[in-house]
Amino acid sequence: MNSVCLGKDTALTLGRSQQLSVALMGVNLTMDACRRPGAAVCKLTCAELKLGIKDGLNACCYICIFSFTVNKFEVKCLISLFYNLVGDVTERQGVVVGLDRNAFRNILHVTFGMTDDMIMDRVFRGFDKDNDGCVSVSEWVYGLSVFLRGTLEEKMKYCFEVFDLNGDGFISKEEMVHMLKNSLLKQPSEEDPDEGIKDLVEITLKKMDHDHDGKLSFPDYEAAVREEALLLEAFGPCLPDPKSQKEFEAQVFKDPNEFGEV
């Protein structure tokens, strides 16, 4: 089953809305998609569609499935993980379904080794699509599908959203300063401790601001990242680092059959 687990390279790049319609139109379209590379997953998703109805999972999971990023088995694992985590939270707080900000930040910190409070906050907002202050199961699966199996495009979009603090579609100088403010060692010898940060922001703009308007638009950011992939997380780590991702996957996507044999 794990053989279906696809790298980001082979994942199809359909727009989100497209995928939704695919999900609604059901089996016919998936058959159509079978002729494309990645056909193996499509077949699986047909089965999953039926299976899913039986299991009573909500539609959002199917979107993830149809985006060919996380496979059926992995979705299941993520969902069960979610309920495990939520279970812990609800016991203590009595709140219904969903991870609140603190619980989510805790997970980010423990599992994915993120440390920057502000970035973690932003990641939470990135996950919490409907802005209701807690990550629901669909938001969880969707977010993690980007985290773990996202294509470069998806990741760019996600990262840009994280870095665009006020959500105006641009990463401004002020936002950069805010995000980079802890990135340099303060040297007591320097008169202005923020001098370095400002300079760093200038360097970044010089590197990434292609239209020279003093702020980063998504096209600016996209062009810079395509040129140099290292700039994907230019203003702070907001994706899991490969090592913790691997460990997370090893832990979460354990094949129950394999496990039984051990």
Q: Which residues have a Cβ under 8 Å from the Cβ of 48 and sit 6 or more positions away? A: 62, 65, 72, 75
Between CA 1 and CA 71 the distance in angstroms is 9
| Angle value at C-alpha 137, between 134 and 140, nearest 5 degrees | 75
Stretch that binds another protein, among 52-60, 62-70, 110-118, 167-175 (CB under 8 A): 110-118
Q: Which two tokens stand for residue 99?
A: 């991870």
The one segment of 28-36, 63-71, 128-136, 238-246 that binds another protein by CB under 8 A: 238-246
Residue 79 makes CB contacts below 8 A (sequence gap 6+) with 57, 61, 137, 140, 141
Least Å from the CB of residue 115 to another protein: 6
- Kindly state the number of chain residues that form the binding site for another protein, as judged by CB under 8 A: 38
CB of 213 to another protein, least distance (A): 19
Position 252 contacts another protein (CB under 8 A): no
Smallest separation (angstroms) from another protein to the CB of 30: 22
Q: Does 207 bind another protein (CB under 8 A)?
A: yes
Please report the sign of the dihedral spanned by the C-alpha atoms of residue 48, residue 51, residue 53, residue 56. Answer: negative
Alpha carbons 95 and 117: distance in angstroms, whole number? 24
Minimum separation from the CB atom of position 183 to another protein (A): 4
Considering the rule CB under 8 A, would residue 234 count as an interface residue with another protein? yes
Contact code string over 65-94 relative to another protein, x by CB under 8 A: -----------------------x------
Q: Are 119 and 238 in contact (CB under 8 A)?
A: yes
36 contributes a contact to another protein by CB under 8 A: no
Could you tell me the smallest distance in angstroms from the CB atom of residue 13 to another protein? 13
